[in-house]
Amino acid sequence: MNVPFYEKIWMWAAAVIITAFAVTVTVGYASSALQPPSHVETIDPTKVFTDPRFAQRGVTLTDHGATVVMVAMMFAYNPAEVHVPAGKPVTFRLTSIDVTHGFQIVGTNGNTMIIPGYVSQFTTTFAQPGEYLIVCNEYCGLSHHLMSAKLVVEAAP
Ligand code: CUA
């Protein structure tokens, strides 16, 4: 088969790009525990505060770690500060009552979108005790830049 020289260049270029994409996804999955969005659980965004899953917000300690329930809204998180244990898996359950927000725990791999109508859930473990800033990284309105919360990771007693 006679493939013209320039055609070969483009074929190899396309192969390299596809390989690079596949490597990026694999490395992200393996090194940073990246996972597909967990948007499988739905919720009525107008009834979040009376929904049993979000009526009580905050931290629940379990035998294995902790669960954090938080609600995002323009332009705050409720609750605005949570305390979780270090070295144990922490599951975050998040939803929005208005528009799409972000949820990034700066300096960690905790990062997800919060979309009204859905419950976003992810689990991560914080090795280092300390204070972490949670910021909204999806533009959600005029005071988007003020939307933040605090995560305190406490060392085991
Ligand atoms: Cu919420 Cu930006």
- According to the model, what pLDDT value does residue 33 have? 76
User: pLDDT tens across 58-98, in order?
Assistant: 999 988 899 999 999 999 999 999 999 999 999 999 999 99
Q: Would you state the structure tokens that stand for residue 42, as one six-digit string? A: 């739905």
Q: How far apart are CA 125 and CA 110, in angstroms?
A: 9
- According to the model, what pLDDT value does residue 134 have? 97
DSSP 155: P
Q: Identify the band that residue 157 occupies on the pLDDT scale cut at 50, 70 and 90.
A: low
Q: Identify the band that residue 29 occupies on the pLDDT scale cut at 50, 70 and 90.
A: confident
User: pLDDT tens across 103-125, in order?
Assistant: 999 999 999 999 999 999 999 99
State the closest ligand 1 atom to the C-alpha of 72, by its place in the atom list counted from 1: 1
- According to the model, what pLDDT value does residue 39 have? 64
Instruction: Name the residue with tokens 């830049």.
Output: 145
Specify whether the CB–CB gap between 92 and 65 falls below 8 A: no
At 33, the amino acid letter reads A
Residue with CA closest to ligand 1 atom 1: 101
Q: How far apart are CA 153 and CA 130, in angstroms?
A: 5
Query: Model pTM?
Result: 0.82
Please work out whether the CB of residue 73 comes within 6 Å of at least one atom of ligand 1.
no
Bridge partner list, 94: 70, 120
Instruction: Name the residue with tokens 């990026």.
Output: 24
| Cis? peptide before 75, omega within 30° of 0 | yes
Collapsing DSSP to helix, strand or coil, 20 comes out as helix
Please work out whether the CB of residue 149 comes within 6 Å of at least one atom of ligand 1.
no
Burial bucket for residue 84 (CB in 10 Å: 0-12, 13-18, 19+): buried
Please work out whether the CB of residue 140 comes within 6 Å of at least one atom of ligand 1.
yes
Bridge partner list, 148: 135
Please work out whether the CB of residue 39 comes within 6 Å of at least one atom of ligand 1.
no
- According to the model, what pLDDT value does residue 49 have? 93
